Amino acid sequence: MRIFVTGGAGYIGSHTLVQLLGAGHDLCVLDNFSNSSLEALRRVRQLTNRDFALVEADIRDTATLTEAMSGFAPDAVVHFAGLKAVGESGEKPLLYYDNNVTGSANLLAAMDTAGCRRIVFSSSATVYGEAQYLPFDEDHPIAPTNPYGRTKAMVEEMIRDWTAATDGASAALLRYFNPVGAHESGRIGEDPRDIPNNLMPFIAQVAVGRRAKLSVFGDDYETRDGTGERDYIHVVDLAAAHSAALEYCARTEGCEAINVGTGRGITVMEMVAAYEEACGHAIAAEIAPRRPGDVASSYAATAKAARLLNWHAERGVDAMCESSWRWQSTNSEGYGEKA
């Protein structure tokens, strides 16, 4: 397949490129590098021993996007490009609506021009908001609690309308739970620019000595040990879900939202213990107040992914921590320090 990948230089994008190149697909990556580096793509080429087209551009630059897409003539698009910091989305909502929503509208228009009718979109479990029941299945009400989540919900609706209006169109809206870990080589991984907001990269930076200690946001939730519970999904399993979704879109028409998770919750303290095992030393952690907006538990119903995509997560928490540690310990400054 010829696949046009927006945001391919980012964390999930780079791992998916490895998967898709390994499967023999031909790729064109478009990224503005607002939250990623060329180094990640250099390493993807090295790991796979394959090349791909690269366009440095913003998805809001209609002319460049349309020209790149029409020139490449893809069979399908995988759309990762987006801003993803929940806190920042509250401070700069218009930036988020512009980048994520306007950008996605441009992308669909460019697909129309190029005659491309298949898309796999990076949505998020955050579209569900507060759990009315668990596990979250795809019919759970959509009620995001922050602007970032609302951009994802809006783009889902936009893609659903576009699919309905476009003959032969097919879309998979992948609702990721909590992607963590790294490629088993340790050559590519998550490289947050600032202080990490998310648990796993924060633990990794404490483990490698970049930060003094982890603050555990609350130990009085109704969970096994009182700390927050999430459905962490290995990024390599997530990458494989994109391959499966592309194949699904090639054989179907219509638009489906599909959870991508393991179905199993892991608490903050369980993750700390697993990481200590992986890195071989203690991780300093102290209990801190709850983080506003956090929920006690979140985990996925996985039956729809199994049924439609014939995909399920294969890697457990040990592989998540081991691969994260391999990446972090050999690239302590992320891509900033050329390994």
Which chain residues interact with ligand UDP by CB under 6 A? 178, 197-199, 202, 214-217, 228, 230, 268, 291, 294, 298
Q: Which is nearer to ligand UDP, 55 or 199 (CB)?
A: 199
Q: State yes or no: residue 34 binds ligand NAD (CB under 6 A).
A: yes
Nearest to 236 by CA among 135, 137, 118, 320: 320
Q: State yes or no: residue 124 binds ligand NAD (CB under 6 A).
A: yes
Q: What letter would DSSP give residue 313? A: -
| Concatenated DSSP letters of 172-188 | EEEEE-EEE---TTSSS
Of 122, 146, 163, 223, the one binding ligand NAD (CB under 6 A) is 122
Q: Which is nearer to ligand UDP, 83 or 216 (CB)?
A: 216
82 binds, among ligand UDP, ligand NAD, none (CB under 5 to 8 A by kind): ligand NAD
Q: Which is nearer to ligand UDP, 3 or 278 (CB)?
A: 278
What percentage of the chain's residues is helix, strand, coil (to nearest 5)? Answer: 45, 20, 40
Q: Which residue is nearest to ligand UDP (CB)?
A: 228
Q: Which residue is nearest to ligand NAD (CB)?
A: 10
Of 2, 26, 33, 97, the one binding ligand NAD (CB under 6 A) is 33
User: Catalytic residue at 299?
Assistant: no
Minimum Å gap between C-beta 38 and ligand UDP is 27
Neighbours of 283 (CB within 10 A): 17
75-94: which residues touch ligand NAD (CB under 6 A)? 80-84
7 binds, among ligand NAD, ligand UDP, none (CB under 5 to 8 A by kind): ligand NAD
Q: Sign of the CA dihedral 125, 127, 128, 130?
A: positive
Interface mask toward ligand NAD for 167-186; x: CB under 6 A: ---------x-xx-------
Minimum Å gap between C-beta 305 and ligand UDP is 18
Unique residue bearing structure tokens 């490895």: 18
Neighbours of 120 (CB within 10 A): 27
Contact in structure between 103 and 124 (CB atoms under 8 Å): no
Q: Which is nearer to ligand UDP, 244 or 272 (CB)?
A: 272
Neighbours of 280 (CB within 10 A): 9
Collect all residues with Cβ–Cβ distance below 8 Å to 230 and sequence separation of at least 6: 177, 178, 199, 265, 266, 297, 298, 299
* Burial class of residue 326 in the structure, from the number of CB atoms within 10 Å of its CB (0-12 exposed, 13-18 middle, 19+ buried): buried
Contact in structure between 171 and 121 (CB atoms under 8 Å): yes
Structure tokens of 168? 């032969």
Structure tokens of 304? 């729809």
Of 19, 66, 89, 99, the one binding ligand NAD (CB under 6 A) is 99
| Catalytic residue, candidates 148, 176, 221, 232 | 148
**Catalytic residue positions, numbered:** 148
Kindly list the residues in this chain that would bind ligand NAD in the complex (CB under 6 A).
Answer: 6-7, 9-13, 31-36, 58-60, 80-84, 99, 103, 122, 124, 176, 178-179
